[in-house]
Amino acid sequence: MKKRVALADVKPGAMWSDDVYIDDQNLLVPAGIAVRQKDLDMLRRWGVTHVLTTGDPVVDAPKPLAARDDPATVAFAGSRKLYRRYIDLVDALAQVFELVGKAERIDSHIIDQITQNVLQLVRDERDESISAILGSAVKEDSLARSGINIAILSVVMGQTLRLPPYRLAYLATGALLHDVGMLRIPEDIRKKKGKLSEEEAQKIRAHPLLSYRVITKELMYPDDIGLVGLQHHERWDGEGYPRRNAAADIDILARVVSVADAFEAMVSTKSYRNSMIGYVAMKNLLSDNSRRFDPDILKAFIKSMGIYPLGSLVLLNNAAIGRVVETHAEAPLRPKIRIVVDEFGNQSEGENGELLDLLAEKSLFIARAIDPGDFAGS
């Protein structure tokens, strides 16, 4: 059972032995990550008086350092630095969304900087970024977190499609902002857990039009970026919304974001359901049969991610458990695996596990994918 910790008693640099939550759903920091002053300031602005954790305070917690990407933080999908860069991106986008929700003026240069930071993150740590989306301990369901995840996945696809640099930047910005219109819909409708009335559903279906208006009229971005917001719910077969565009009438950047959005929605924990494992989400996309998605974009996604996406946990036929660390475009069922638990039950620490290339190890194959949550609880 989670314990309540008064926010007044939490100091910058405090750590706990287990995850710390803002409420029953939203994570503040994972186990072993230091709370920052900006985290405390944010909670006070929100009127939060307590945080929740099942862990105990880590007595010898180091003091937080000033650098935003300082490696003094604890590992996130294998990289301390990546965790801080990722969280800072989510924080920055959340602040933008807060202003959008209040219809306050926003300096688009702030969004441009987030775009450049996403592009740089993918250039620096492409595989690790994808693994972070699939295997992250960050469980919060937020529009900002989804925006960052979808931007990362979209940029990875855009690289595979060999989009020129300026189009990649447009793609990243469009992905960040594609759902911004949702912020102009009443919160009680956005977060309703029960069935929506027809009137409420119509308001939700109007959010692409609102996104387009915010992106092009308020933020003054070009139509190429606005179309991502307008068309990301259109379908390849013409059965989408808001305008029932089909096939090539849907802008290619919107087609890319549509695939990334669907995949991210399936693999991220939501307030109303558990996440799917990456392999199952990929199988769902592959069964589309040119109804919802451009088949060429799906091929680019599979080429980028593999059937077993980077970061996926898999069980091998010799009973060993490994994590996918690299994929082969020509053989998506036979990726490179870092062993986490060997066939004798011995668990590896960090990145010390044996590296196996299933393309070369012909006697080994993947028996099935494993839910990271089940593995962590075993």
Of the ranges 5-19, 66-80, 103-117, 363-377, the best mean pLDDT one? 103-117
Q: Note whether residue 185 is domain-resident.
A: yes
Note whether 229 and 362 are same-domain residues.
no
Strands across the sheet with 27-29, in order? 3-6, 50-53, 20-21, 27-29
Out of 180-184, 247-251, 285-289, 359-363, which region has the weakest mean confidence (pLDDT)?
285-289
Q: Which of 305, 321, 348 marks a domain boundary?
A: 305
Domain identity same for 101 and 189: yes
Is residue 219 domain-shared with residue 250, that is, in the same domain? yes
Token reading at 373: 């949550």
Identity of the amino acid at 220: M
For the chain, first and last CA: distance in Å? Answer: 19
Picking from 285, 305, 325, the residue at the C-terminal end of a domain is 305
Q: Are residues 275 and 345 in the same domain?
A: no
Residues 6 or more apart whose CB falls under 8 angstroms from that of 236 comprise 246, 247, 250, 255, 290, 291, 292, 293, 294, 295
Residue 183 and residue 210 in one domain: yes
Whose CA is closest to 158, among 167, 148, 145, 149?
167
DSSP designation for 268? S
Residue 376 has pLDDT above 60, yes or no: no
Question: What is the residue whose two structure tokens read 């290339």?
Answer: 357
Q: What residues are paired with 6 via a beta bridge?
A: 50
* Together in a domain, 161 and 209: yes
Instruction: Tell me the per-residue pLDDT of 145-175, one tens digit each, with 9 for 90 and over.
Output: 999 999 999 999 999 999 999 999 999 999 9
Q: Domain span at residue 341? A: 313-376
Of 87, 175, 70, whose CA–CA distance to 132 is shortest? 87
DSSP string, 353-374: SPEEETTT-TT--EEEEE-HHH
- Are 16 and 84 in the same domain? no
Q: Which of 251, 283, 305 is the last residue of a domain?
A: 305
Are residues 85 and 222 part of one domain? yes
The pLDDT confidence band at residue 84, using thresholds 50, 70 and 90, is confident
120 lies in the same domain as 220: yes
Q: Does 344 score more than 90 pLDDT?
A: no
> Looking at per-residue confidence, does 216 or 348 come out higher?
216
295 lies in the same domain as 322: no
Please write the tens of the pLDDT for every residue from 275-292.
677 888 888 898 888 899
Whether 298 and 241 share a structural domain: yes
Q: Where are any strands of DSSP class E within 60-118?
A: none
Is 222 contained in some domain? yes
Number of domains composing the chain:
3
Average per-residue pLDDT for the chain: 85
pTM beyond 0.85: no
